[in-house]
Amino acid sequence: MDGPDDENPPLEWPKNDRPAAPEEGLFVSDVELYRRLGVGPRTGRIAVRSLQHNGFPPKDPLFGNKRYWPAVRAFLDDRYIHGLPTPSAGRTWTENCDTPRTRPRPKLEAAVARLTKAKRPPVS
């Protein structure tokens, strides 16, 4: 009995966790996600890990710890098409050197006092 009703189908029988064509599946593994994004596994892992804090769609344990592809696509469309704020090229902070220090620096003050008292005559 060779067919889907057989409990132990032969090895050439298609596995249930893979769709017929990669573009058909709604839930994708991480490897398939990286392939659809056009990046390698290392770059993909780094990108997904950094985007998870911004609301990247999580894996669904009900579907074999795979991600829902339309949600991933919508997340990336919102991020890149609808325009999330991009970081500016210039500095985003201002330097304020005029503010006094909050704690005293006794060693620095002692060193400055020592140097001002022991002025050496110029060597000619």
pLDDT tens, position by position, 68-104: 999 999 999 988 887 765 555 555 666 666 776 677 7
The residues spanned by each domain of the chain are 27-80
Residue 57 confidence (pLDDT): 95
3-state SS assignment for residue 121: coil
Q: Is the pLDDT of residue 4 over 70?
A: no
**Do 75 and 55 touch, CB atoms closer than 8 A?**
yes
Helices (H), the chain: 30-37, 41-51, 69-80, 106-117
- pTM (two decimals): 0.50
Within 13 Å and on the Cβ side, how many CA atoms surround 123?
Answer: 0
Query: Which residue's structure tokens are 């991600």?
Result: 67
Average pLDDT, integer, range 116-124: 68
43/109: higher pLDDT? 43
Closest CA to 29 of 43, 45, 51: 45
1/10: higher pLDDT? 10
